[in-house]
Structures are given as structure tokens and as C-alpha cells.
Amino acid sequence: MVRKEKSAANAFLESAERVEWVEVVLRDGRTLQGNVIRNPIRHTGTIVNAVQETRHDFALNDIQAVRKVSDPRLINLS
């Protein structure tokens, strides 16, 4: 059995699924924020942004960086 090594960005994305709000930077320069859903079988991911009511799909190979950021829904609570 041959096991492929995970890219660093893919490993971060895997852990980002457990985080409330992340920022994903793609190789084409786009920066997406929201909750991440990863599909390891299809090698794709989705960022769902409930604040802006948007959804963006991307290929896992297109990921340049993943960062945990502050959830804007919690910042605006007073």
C-alpha cells in the first residue's frame, strides 16, 4: 500500500475544519473567510461565509495558506 504525504496546507485545512472561522489564501490570490468543509475523496473544499451569505468551492491543491481568524459574528456582539 502506498500512502501519499499530505501537503502542509492540506494538513492545516484538515485541522481548520475543527475551528469556527478561518481564512484560506488560494494560489490565484483570492482570500476567502468562513467555515471550511473539506472533501478528501474529491480533493476539494468549500468555504461558507454566513455573514456575507457566500459559498466558494476550491481544489485542495490551490491552497497556499490557512489561518485561524476572529469570527466577525462574535466581534459584533456587544
Asked whether residue 2 is domain-assigned, the answer is: no
- The answer to whether residue 23 sits within a structural domain is yes
Q: What digits encode the pLDDT tens for the residues 50-74? A: 889 999 999 989 989 888 888 887 7
Residue 13 has pLDDT above 50, yes or no: yes
| pTM score, whole prediction | 0.70
pLDDT of residue 1: 44
**68 assigned to some structural domain:** yes
User: For 14, left (φ over 0), alpha (ψ -120 to 50), or beta?
Assistant: alpha
Q: How many independent structural domains does the chain possess?
A: 1
CATH code, domain with 12: 2.30.30.100
Instruction: Please indicate, yes or no, if residue 59 is contained in any of the structural domains.
Output: yes
